[in-house]
Amino acid sequence: MTKLSIGKMANLNQVTVQTLRYYEKIGLLVPDLVDRESGYRYYHINQCARLDMIQYMKCLGMSLESIKHYFDQRDIQDFSAMLEEHEAWIHKKIEELTAMQAAARQYQKNIGRYMKAPAAGVIQLEKMEERRIFSYDAGVNFYEKGMDTWEYMIRGLKTQIAVAHLPMVKFCNVGSILRKDWVQERSFYSTEIFIFVDEPEETTEILPAGMYLTVYFDDFYREMEYGNLLLDYAQAQGYEVAGDYICEVVVELPIFEEKRNMFIKVQIPVKMP
């Protein structure tokens, strides 16, 4: 028997009756016969081929709108061009998913760092690998301001990330930079904030590998206290400040209150005597 009821057509092709009714509604797959008295829909077995193609194109991630366009045009060149465009879309999605995967892995790593970090105020000398950042100059010395100003500065960074076409998933754990000249003068003046990135773009900057004095803490308003603690220690040990002071947000803890809760690592590159 070549005629199939809508129920049998659905079961045979592992789709729902509702799906076939919707395909009929948009003109994508119309029943071969509709009984005028009962309203029953019947499909020809040969129509399974069209349904197979619909399902295949859906597996490629194509929209029903695109599939219907291809069927309506009946033009193989048009279909080829559509496939080429769709392949580019798939490539972009792969890049986005890869960035998401890397970000999720990094966040897990940062939580592990938080769990294993020393107590607040404990100074360590750590060997750091080379890192790359994307920075933004907000034009405001946030050391003279509070958390509200910091939040406004972060909004500006978020805008610049979009302008630079960087993955928005990178917008996480925003840190700050105090340039070497200001560090040597013991002057806490900085207008620059940053995120860590992997992209070797012209708009990014490298933090060099080397030995860094580090200290961890969890209070935004005590950064200068801990920063001075590191500088006092460096001076006492005869260490030379070798680069920019980095205030890294290791992880932002789950927000149970309506404010940013950060676990922070201040680090200063040094040369040992």
State the pLDDT at residue 198.
Answer: 84
State the pLDDT at residue 1.
Answer: 55
Give me 273's structure tokens: 């005597």
Distance (Å, whole) CA 184 – CA 32: 83
Give how many domains the chain has, as a whole number: 2
Q: What pTM, to 2 d.p., does this model score?
A: 0.74
> How many other C-beta atoms can be found within 10 angstroms of the C-beta atom of residue 261?
13
Tell me the mean pLDDT in the region 134-163.
92
State the pLDDT at residue 36.
Answer: 86
Same domain, 57 and 141: no
> How many other C-beta atoms can be found within 10 angstroms of the C-beta atom of residue 81?
11
Q: Say if 122 falls within a structural domain.
A: yes
Tell me the mean pLDDT in the region 134-143.
93
Question: How does residue 257 score in pLDDT terms, banded at 50, 70 and 90?
Answer: low
Same domain, 16 and 65: yes
Give me 134's structure tokens: 């994307």
State the pLDDT at residue 256.
Answer: 63
Same domain, 117 and 237: yes
Q: Say if 80 falls within a structural domain.
A: no
The whole domain housing 187 covers 99-271
44-91 pLDDT, tens digit each? 999 999 999 999 999 989 899 989 988 888 888 888 888 898 899 999
Average pLDDT value over all residues in the chain: 91
Same domain, 236 and 170: yes
172-188 pLDDT, tens digit each? 899 999 999 999 999 99
Same domain, 26 and 109: no
Question: Any idea what the CATH number is for the domain that residue 59 is in?
Answer: 1.10.1660.10
Q: Say if 16 falls within a structural domain.
A: yes
Question: Any idea what the CATH number is for the domain that residue 214 is in?
Answer: 3.20.80.10
Same domain, 103 and 38: no
Tell me the β-bridge partners of 177.
192, 246
